[in-house]
Amino acid sequence: MRTENRSFHLKSILFGAFWASVGILVTQHFIGPFLSRHSQATEEQILATVHRTISQDYVEPLSPEALMRNGARGMLESLRDPYVDFFGPDDLRSFQEGNSGVIVGIGVMLNSRGEILYPQPGGNAEAVGIVPGDRFVNIDGQSVINMDRGLMAGLLRGEAGSEVVLEMEHQDGTPFTATVKRSAVPTITVGDVRMLDMDSGIGHIHIRSFAKSTVAELDHALERLVRSGMKALILDLRWNPGGQLPSAINVAGRFLNGGLVCSLESRYAPTERRYAQQVDGKYFGMPLVLLVNGGSASGSEVVAAALRERGFALLVGARTYGKGIYQQVFEYDSGEFAMQFTAGYYVTPAGHILEGHLNPQLAGCLEPDLSVIADAEEDRLIRTWQRRNRPPAIYREAMEAAFPETADVSPPPDRFLDTAVAVLNRSLKGS
């Protein structure tokens, strides 16, 4: 009996210990977190309470949507990160257009005074009879005489398919009214395209930024220069602030035989490597010089580093800006806002971190292989030239007649280009 009682007590003790352990585990992993969530306010609950309290109890009525947007903006500002951005209802469309490389408007190119340089061939403005030299008087009933060009362009943009009523004057003063439907209009991210040295076959392409349309624009420019006899290329990335990383990677891929372009390193996620796609290889191995300066940042630094480190290009110019970060973008349609913030660093194929501003311990930037120094006035003239858009051939004569100052404009002296041409000439003669 004593043996049986001892066995019974032992089983009872083990049984109790088992269920006690189960109770502890359930409390630690289920009941505890549940009670914690429901007994203590989380950060999200506190913010929601603050938002509701101010919306309901502040002495003056407030827009809950505006209060929400201001709260999001405040959190971004608290990061003290020079690269974060907040886009509210007024500038959300411009942000989206900048990312896509497509704007929604009527399809006209304006000068600094807001006059029509030329309409887009085949576009809606051309269809209603708008020609070079025309000027706006009223846009949807609002006077735009002496209005800033940027504000005027904003009035011309809107939702695709919407209409805008224009009161205009031809250059001779004849008034006319036109109703134009807005539609998608491609931006121009590839600017100056020309042969610099016909004898040696040296071409030049300036890329202003990287958007969805950039690769198609670049392919068109390359084909045009090849037809003109191009054997070597100067790819100009001066004042290129970057843009969409996939576009930059595809641009680099035009001159690489596949392979690594850059890596993305973030706080938690594993390193993500980005590779150039295998293409037809038409430009693989072509003598190549990249022009860079202090305005070359982000995606343009990714392209420059990849092409140099993998042995396909030399860098000529000045030290780059050193914006070696990538950003995440979140759009909140119901709140009519978007925000972007720093998510990680760009790392070159050789392991160099390009960022030089967020963390003082990071070196950042790219130093050129050949340094060129230009004064402020030279830079100003070059940048003005690079912003210039050449008119389509069908409108060149009419535009120059309406604006004689645009006729026979020659590019300014450019020591960066001169140095690059000399480098490529030596390379072509050596080959």
How far is the C-alpha of 156 from the C-alpha of 105, rounded, in Å? 6
* Residue 87, domain member (yes or no): no
Helix, strand, or coil (residue 89): coil
Residue 20 confidence (pLDDT) above 50: no
Look up the domain containing 115 and give its range. Answer: 103-186
Does any domain span residue 245?
A: yes
Residue 1 domain-assigned?
Answer: no
Last residue of a domain, one of 163, 186, 209: 186
305 and 199 in a common domain: yes
Which burial class, exposed, middle or buried, applies to 108 when counting CB atoms under 10 A from its CB (0-12, 13-18, 19+)? Answer: buried
Q: How confident is the model at residue 228 (pLDDT cuts 50, 70, 90)?
A: very high
Residue 188 φ/ψ, nearest 5 degrees: -115, 105
Residues 232 and 156 reside in one and the same domain: no
Instruction: Render pLDDT for 327-375 as a digit per residue (tens, 0 to 9).
Output: 888 888 777 888 888 889 999 999 999 998 887 777 789 999 999 998 9
| Dist. CA 257–CA 248, nearest whole Å | 15
Taking only the tens place, the pLDDT of each residue in 51-68 is: 888 878 778 887 888 888
State the average pLDDT over residues 176-202: 92
pLDDT > 90 in the chain, percent: 54
| Distance (Å, whole) CA 41 – CA 54 | 18
Which of 245, 277, 281 minimizes the C-alpha distance to 260?
277
- For residue 128, the domain's CATH number is 2.30.42.10
- Angstrom distances, CA of residue 347 to CA of 255, 267, 277, 301, 315: 19, 14, 18, 10, 18
Identify the domain boundary among 149, 166, 186.
186
- Within 13 Å, how many C-alpha atoms sit on residue 327's CB side? 21
Encoding tokens for residue 34?
A: 């549940």
Q: What is the pLDDT of residues 115-163, one digit of tens each?
A: 999 999 989 999 999 999 999 999 999 999 989 888 898 899 888 899 9
**What pTM was computed for the model?**
0.78
Q: What is the pLDDT of residue 57?
A: 79
Q: Do 243 and 317 share a structural domain?
A: yes
> Do residues 336 and 287 share a domain?
yes
**Is residue 197 in some structural domain?**
yes
In this structure, is residue 24 part of a structural domain? no
CATH number for 415: 3.90.226.10
- pLDDT above 90 (res 232): yes
Same domain? 133 vs 243: no
CA atoms within 13 A on the CB side of 423: 23
**Are 228 and 365 within one domain?**
yes
The answer to whether position 23 is within a domain reads no
- My answer on whether 210 and 306 are in the same domain is yes
* Residues 340, 87: Cα–Cα separation, whole Å: 9
- 275 forms beta bridges with 260
For residue 305, what are the β-bridge partners? none
Does residue 311 sit in the same domain as residue 236?
yes
- Domain-terminating residue out of 146, 163, 186: 186
Strand partners, 147: none
d(CA 34, CA 14): 29
Q: Which helix (H) or strand (E) holds 73?
A: helix 64-77
Please report whether residue 85 resides in a domain. Answer: no
Give me the residue label for tokens 């006690």. Answer: 20
Asked if residue 274 and residue 261 are part of one domain, the reply reads yes
Number of domains in the chain: 2
How does 201-236 read in b/e, with b if 16+ C-beta sit within 10 Å?
A: bbbbbbbbbbbbbbbebbbebbeebbeeebbbbbbb
Q: What is the pLDDT of residues 397-413, one digit of tens each?
A: 999 999 998 887 789 99
Please indicate, yes or no, if residue 2 is contained in any of the structural domains.
no
Q: Do 244 and 372 fall into the same domain?
A: yes
pLDDT of residue 35: 44
- pLDDT of residue 2 exceeding 80: no
| Whether residue 272 is found in the same domain as residue 342 | yes
Task: Check whether residue 327 and residue 343 sit in a common domain.
Answer: yes
